[in-house]
Amino acid sequence: MHPKYLSIFILLYISSCKFIFPISDLDPKVLDQKTAENRAKQVTNVRYDISLDITKKETFHGVTSIHFDFIKNDSPLRVDLANAVIESVQVNNKTLQGIDYEKGHFMISVNHLSPGRNTIKVAYTHPFSRSGNGLHIFNDPEDNETYIYSQFETNHAQAMFPCFDQPDIKASYKLDVLHPKKWKIVTANLADKKTSENEFTRSYFPETLVFSTYIFSLHAGPYAEWMDRYGKLSLKLYARKSMAKYVDHKLWFQVTKQGLRFFEKYFGIDYPFSKYDQLIVPEFNFGAMENVGAVTFSERFLSRGKVTRSGKEKLASVILHEMAHMWFGNLVTMKWWDGLWLNESFATYLAAKAQYEATEFKEAWETFFTGMKSWAYKADKSITTHPIQGKVSDTEEAFTNFDGITYGKGASVLKQLEFFIGEEEFRVGVSNYLKKYSYSNATLLDFLTSLEESSGRDLKKWSSEWLESEGFNRLLAEKTCDSSGKYLESIQLTQDHITNTKIPRSHKTQLALIKLQSNKPVLMGTQTVEYGEGITKIKWNTEVECPDFIFSNYGDYDFVRTDYPSEILEEKNLSTLKSILQGMDTLSTLMIWRDLFEEVRDGDLSLNRYKNLTMDILPQDKRDIVLESNLGHITSPSFSSYHSFLYLKKQSDRQLELEELEEYTWKHMLGSPSQSDRKKLWFRGYVAIGQSNDFFQRTIQLLTNKESISGLSLDQDMRWSLLKKICSLTSDRSRINELLDAEKKRDSSRIGLNSALACEAATPDPVTKGIWMNRFTKPNEVYSPSTLRTVLHYIFPIHQKNLQIPFVEYFYQNIKEGKIEGDENYQETYAYSLAPSFCTEENRHILRKFINNNRNLPANILKSLKIKLESEEECLLIRKKNGF
């Protein structure tokens, strides 16, 4: 699509639209902090007795008794219960009439409660969830088996049982469940009794230790099961029967046992609960969830082909992240959601630490940088950034904080803190904190006090700078050599705060001096330094030659944006940069590559020069992680890759370059070692770029087995990636439908069905697009939120932006009128995926105006739109600087 046609449409749209958003009442399921604080003063010593019947297909029945000590005050007591049909409510054996129920909670008058022990008993019916939150049900199309699992964070426990759904009212739980006889039931404890009731079984689970509602769980179904032990601790792993063949249970248990051993030693505390089960479940909204004794994982961590080392490493990281939560988050929990980072940042950081020290995946700090830390820098640069420890007014706002700040920046800042106060001092402080607040809740002050006691350092200023303030600093390291130019005299570190932060910070980093010898970088020495506001002069601790390059964050201990002297990026010095990129250790190489792409994003480095540098170096660098983390900057089908910007050119101007990129990826894929992970990475790039007739015809030959790629076995998911791409290239369905029918016969799984629907939606046909745009507004049993999220990714690829134009107004109308059904997870995906991204001034103007005129949109939708607006602004900057 040439941008001039888009401009005409958008100018017409601006003149015709009115941006009005109706003000709606607060969702009754939302809990605000003030209400939570008041309720925490009313109740203590809570126990839930939960009895469930899950034998029906659409709904489940429950009877829950809440036992608690009541501390009398004048406020009625709120009980959370979302979207249920309440049959009866009893308080201390007296049935209440006329309960005012708002589908999210009901209130109990203090007149019905007595100081001391009380019981509220509720009988109710509730629909099973299709959204992935609450008690979710899934029917497997391959074997028609049914599976159930729960997901309660942040406040969805109330979608299974009435409760005080907030993190600082910890409780114990007794559970019994009526279920089909062949089903396995998994929760926080092992069952201690089973009875038969006609054709069903009732399983009984004893009272648990105390923990928060959001980490209680229930899972049910005919799961495949694997068993192991860690000392006396029971370990089990579960997956759908139809997915069992893809589960490498030996790897799961190996990493699990390595992690348990590491964390028990590191924390000085034995695993704090009775068992450790892990369940791999379908249609899961997140990566995983740290339920006590029954951790859930998305099936996205299963591969239906040969698993790459990168895939295994990512799985190990997530297993260890969730395990770390058993101590950080489950044993000790934040009081309110403003302390979410105390859970997620620690789990993220300590997972990398455990992975590096206890498993085979010694690349942990490299993948930590390319994943979590890069996410952190991006999130902290955004206008949607926030302090790591900030204000969270309610549970709706809490959901928006599951982001790169809470996970990535928090973990990165903890790495800086450990370096700042000392590794052992940090470990001892963490251990003491966990021991002191076991099975209770804690605050930031509690955590800092423990670290201050172990390190002997006052951390109030550090906390104010790093945890309670947003943004990051920039650091420029400049050398001064002696008059002969041979020896280093000093290094000047300049810290500024010209990005989006308002303050300088206290930093500790490691400098490294690099000298080129025979065009290869040689590490001449390192030195640990602390620096603060303004300029810090550093004298090297030994006499050393003047370096060719200074690495100002060697080892990646600091959280700071590295600036380079301007001459480093000049064309005449690119040979020096190439030598450094090809010869440095992997972590340093990855850090420099990221810095270079940030220079592109800031408009300080030509995208074309970056592309040429990348295409030259990547085939020569044999480290897969370097290829994986940088190839997408050329081949990705989304802004701001080089590939994406070609679609801002006229078709005649871009076609040759697209074919050159296609040939480039194909050539290096063929030249990669047989059956290697590297070959798969190049294949992925080839599919992303592919659009020529040669690509189209070759894909048909591959899918019909008339052609093959030497040394590359096409697994089922790779076949779908090819088919989805060619579906997006032609509206002639005759040939495509034949291929699609054949592929659906090969793969009747839910993944296959979703992929087939994505193929349909990707068709470059306005009528098809209209059908799917309507479907996206109403997730249902046929088109679940999980299915629609898959399809959303393929509806308007980079080469079909012209087909999105007629639906722009429809998108904005749906958002402002609140017509998007589904939960907060789905609505966020809808908003981000379909918000127009055209890289034009007109589109930026519309999006900004819509945001400014609709500040009362749900927090998650508003945040998604702001992030999309920032992407549009970045794209425009690069476009202007590079003349696209």
Catalytic residue among 283, 322, 828, 874: 322
Residue bearing the bigger pLDDT, 667 or 823: 667
Residue 208, pLDDT > 70, answer yes
The pLDDT of residue 497 is 63
pLDDT in tens, 706-740: 999 999 999 999 999 999 999 999 998 888 999 99
Q: Under a CB-based contact definition with an 8 Å cutoff, are residues 631 and 681 in contact?
A: yes
**Residue % of the chain over a pLDDT of 90:** 89
In this prediction, residue 83 has a pLDDT band, given cuts at 50, 70 and 90, of: very high
Other C-beta atoms closer than 10 Å to the C-beta of 706 total 8
Q: Which of 183, 140, 189, 402 is nearest to 289 (CA)?
A: 402
Rounded to 5°, angle at Cα 671 from 669 and 676? 65
The pLDDT of residue 16 is 31
Radius of gyration of the chain (CA): 28
pLDDT in tens, 682-692: 999 999 999 99
- The verdict on whether 357 is a catalytic residue reads no
The pLDDT of residue 24 is 31
**Residue % of the chain over a pLDDT of 70:** 96
CA distance 587 to 218: 41
DSSP state for residue 408 in the 8-state scheme? I
The amino acid sitting at 52 is L
In this prediction, residue 103 has a pLDDT band, given cuts at 50, 70 and 90, of: confident
Q: What is the mean pLDDT of residues 222-251?
A: 98
- Alpha carbon separation from 817 to 83, 558, 777, 874 (Å, rounded): 22, 45, 12, 29
pLDDT in tens, 4-57: 333 323 333 323 332 222 223 346 689 999 999 999 999 999 999 999 999 999
The pLDDT of residue 652 is 86
The pLDDT of residue 20 is 26
Q: What tokens does 389 get? A: 């420890």
In this prediction, residue 568 has a pLDDT band, given cuts at 50, 70 and 90, of: confident
DSSP state for residue 276 in the 8-state scheme? E
Residue 623, pLDDT > 70, answer yes
φ and ψ at residue 753, rounded to 5 degrees:
-65, -40
In this prediction, residue 498 has a pLDDT band, given cuts at 50, 70 and 90, of: low
CA distance 148 to 128: 9
φ and ψ at residue 146, rounded to 5 degrees:
-110, 140
Q: What tokens does 379 get? A: 């999130």
Q: Under a CB-based contact definition with an 8 Å cutoff, are residues 247 and 302 in contact?
A: yes
pLDDT in tens, 140-162: 999 999 999 999 999 999 999 99
In this prediction, residue 499 has a pLDDT band, given cuts at 50, 70 and 90, of: low
Residue 340, pLDDT > 60, answer yes
Q: How far is CA 758 from the centre of its chain?
A: 22
Rounded to 5°, angle at Cα 202 from 197 and 207? 150
Q: What is the mean pLDDT of residues 743-750?
A: 96
Output the average pLDDT for the chain: 93
DSSP state for residue 712 in the 8-state scheme? B
pLDDT in tens, 446-467: 999 999 999 999 999 999 999 9
pLDDT in tens, 409-454: 999 999 999 999 999 999 999 999 999 999 999 999 999 999 999 9
CA distance 316 to 358: 11
The pLDDT of residue 28 is 67
